[in-house]
Amino acid sequence: MHSKLTAIFAPQNIPMHPKSTFVLLLCTLFSGTVFSQTTVRENGYTVTYNHRNIALTFDRNVDFRAFNAKSLAEKQVAIDSTNKYTYTITDAEPAEFIRYEYAVKDGANKTYNSSMLAAQSLSTGVMNVYFNHPVITSAAQYQPALDLGSTLDDMLITYINACQSTLDIAIYNSYSPSSTTGIAGAINNAYGRGVRVRVVYDGSTGSVMIPLLNPAIPTLASPTSSSYGIMHNKFVVFDADSSNPNVPWVWTGSTNWTAAQIDGPDKNNAIAIQDQALAQAYKTEFEEMWGSSVLLPNTTVSKFGPYKLNNTPHTFVINGKAVGSYFSPSDGANAQIINVINSANTDIEISTMLITRDDVRDAIVNRYNSGVNTVQAVFDTQNPSGNDIPSLKTSIGANKMVQYAGAGVMHHKFILVDNFNAASDPTLLTGSHNWSASAETKNDENILVIHDKNIADQYYQAFLYLYGQAGGTLATAELASNKKDLMLYPNPTDGMVYLKADSSLLSSKGSITVYNVVGSRIMERNFANMQNASVDLGNAPKGLYFVTVQIGEFSYQAKMIRK
């Protein structure tokens, strides 16, 4: 690893979500996992997640039943004695998918509906964000973003090397230097140590990596018919079925695995999330394309693009954070982009390769005209048919709607809102989904909607770099620097790591905990004051580590490179 990182800490508090869609009411610590009571507003009812109890409160009288989504075993449901419109599932298992049916009564008539939800898992909920280009860490409000530069592929390889039992890959385009090195080498090594590997790739794109895989590894190309677009996903599911809930991960984002995409000069992001329920959702999506739940694909029942079903939960509570998950074309991902835009109260920042959806363009302009004055975007210089960028420049301003003309493709597909308004649910949307008709109606895509101020702020640091490089004009409020309470140095380090604090923290006592990239704790040390606050990584292998400093009720986090 050779990324440049100035590790400056800021307090990490559990995020509150006051908007009508996600309202985080209470968080408690249980067996190392944060369980939250989170209320989510759906169409005609609300869902309140509280560990094993999941309550659905309808706006009117309904008949209600709930089942395990796989076995169809009926769940225990209690009717609230004070509100007969509230039904509580009382026996939800960790990471369980639950299908529920409800019939809305209207006189003698009934309207039948069904949907699905996911119970909270026992996973850590760790979220790691990576970029392959510079980021402006001096703008960090909470945690500095991580620029891995040309080593983003090495980070992916680290996750593959840690995989224990199953590895499901859906990748649009890919490259590897050889069958024994790079990503292909890591996949082949995983297969060699007994990991079950399955790979779906785009059938219309010449992926250099696929022929380099061990011939015994099953692969499946997407269809190339005129009714289908492309298999544009870039996700990996690690160990989804592990008996240890702290083992499953999902890797996704905008990054293809070609040399230009993952090493640069193309500008991309990736996010890795440790959550078993989310991993199960992505596995379900993978197996819909794969056509089976076993080693070999079944092309007679596999579904791609417009033939897929809306068959996964869309709301997850991950370490106290509300996370939305949507796949295209079945789940209405474009509507989620518009929902995020419409939820903005103070600011909108966009970094996406292109925009040809008039409804998305109109949503952006409408929020700007409604008083959200901080609306800023950076796009690539492509000029596709139906390009909406000129219209946005006219409506909002050419100095706020800018195009990145530097090296490579500005390939991101993310938007964040209310990054500078912690009381207004800072939210990030990211994934593989371009803002186009094909992505919405033909392609296989995925997006995540993450309601967390820390994650949104890391993406803002990447946006800020690209926006500045493209000549964008910042709003005045975003020029103010943020207070930094702690600093970790030197970083990168060849051994000793020290804490530097401002005067208000010099006499504070606390602890330092170091985790490796897969979330295992490798070191912990208590300190009586800042003068002796240090930790020795001299015996740790070279690579990336995550450091948590606990001082009283506050938790500070940063990433550290052991060189």
> Taking phi first (over 0 means left), then psi (-120 to 50 degrees means alpha), and beta for anything else, what does residue 285 get?
alpha
Looking at 63, 93, 118, the residue that finishes a domain is 118
- Domain assignment present for residue 5? The answer is no
- Domain assignment present for residue 498? The answer is yes
Residues 336 and 295 placed together within one structural domain of the fold: no
Q: Which amino acid is at 558?
A: A
Secondary structure (DSSP) of 347-406: EEEEEES-B--HHHHHHHHHHHHTT--EEEEEE-S---TT--HHHHHHHH-TTTEEE--S
Cβ atoms of 125 and 320 closer than 8 Å: yes
CATH at 515: 2.60.40.3080
Residues of the chain where predicted confidence (pLDDT) is lower than 70: 1-36, 475-486, 502-504, 517-519, 553-555, 557
Residues 309 and 455 placed together within one structural domain of the fold: no
- Domain assignment present for residue 375? The answer is yes
Q: Give the count of beta carbons closer than 10 Å to the beta carbon of residue 329.
A: 23
- Domain assignment present for residue 13? The answer is no
Residues 246 and 154 placed together within one structural domain of the fold: yes
Residues 198 and 236 placed together within one structural domain of the fold: yes
How many residues appear in the chain? 563
Q: Give the count of beta carbons closer than 10 Å to the beta carbon of residue 554.
A: 17
> How many separate domains does the chain show?
4
- Domain assignment present for residue 11? The answer is no
Question: Longest Cα pair distance anywhere in the chain, in angstroms?
Answer: 75
Sequence-distant (6+) residues with CB within 8 A of 89 are 53, 54, 55, 56, 66, 75, 76, 77, 98, 100
For residue 120, what is the DSSP state? -
- Domain assignment present for residue 3? The answer is no
Q: Which amino acid is at 156?
A: L
Between the alpha carbon of residue 40 and those of residues 21, 29, 315, the distances in Å are 6, 21, 8
Residues 69 and 192 placed together within one structural domain of the fold: no
Cβ atoms of 12 and 557 closer than 8 Å: yes
As to burial, measured by CB atoms within 10 angstroms (0-12 exposed, 13-18 middle, 19+ buried), residue 108 is exposed
Rounded distance between C-alpha atoms, residue 181 and residue 147, angstroms: 23
Residues 145 and 33 placed together within one structural domain of the fold: no
Rounded distance between C-alpha atoms, residue 149 and residue 561, angstroms: 13
Between the alpha carbon of residue 191 and those of residues 167, 195, 257, the distances in Å are 9, 5, 19
Sheet with 427-431, strands from edge to edge, namely 315-318, 321-328, 445-451, 427-431, 413-417, 347-352, 374-379, 401-403
Residues 131 and 224 placed together within one structural domain of the fold: yes
Helical axes 152-162 vs 182-192, angle rounded to 10°: 0
Rounded distance between C-alpha atoms, residue 178 and residue 168, angstroms: 20
Between the alpha carbon of residue 328 and those of residues 223, 323, 436, 437, the distances in Å are 16, 17, 12, 11
Residues 337 and 390 placed together within one structural domain of the fold: yes
CATH at 50: 2.60.40
pLDDT for residue 521: 83
Cβ atoms of 12 and 556 closer than 8 Å: yes
Rounded distance between C-alpha atoms, residue 427 and residue 379, angstroms: 20
Sheet with 510-515, strands from edge to edge, namely 11-12, 554-562, 543-551, 510-515, 521-527
The residues that bridge with 507 in the sheet, in sequence order, are none
Residues 207 and 237 placed together within one structural domain of the fold: yes
Rounded distance between C-alpha atoms, residue 151 and residue 53, angstroms: 43
Looking at 437, 458, 479, the residue that finishes a domain is 479
Residues 520 and 457 placed together within one structural domain of the fold: no
- Domain assignment present for residue 386? The answer is yes
Phi, psi torsion values for 214, nearest 5 degrees = -50, 130
pLDDT for residue 475: 64
Cβ atoms of 133 and 247 closer than 8 Å: no
Cβ atoms of 303 and 287 closer than 8 Å: no
pLDDT for residue 18: 30
pLDDT for residue 109: 86
Residues 92 and 197 placed together within one structural domain of the fold: no
Model confidence over 88-113: pLDDT tens digits? 999 999 999 999 999 998 888 889 99
Residues 267 and 200 placed together within one structural domain of the fold: yes
- Domain assignment present for residue 4? The answer is no
CATH at 332: 3.30.870.10
> The tokens of 491 are what?
């970083």
pLDDT for residue 494: 85
Domain that holds residue 422: 323-479
Interstrand relation of 315-318 and 374-379 (parallel, antiparallel or unpaired): unpaired
pLDDT for residue 213: 99
pLDDT for residue 517: 60
Cβ atoms of 351 and 378 closer than 8 Å: yes
Looking at 96, 118, 140, the residue that finishes a domain is 118
For residue 183, what is the DSSP state? H
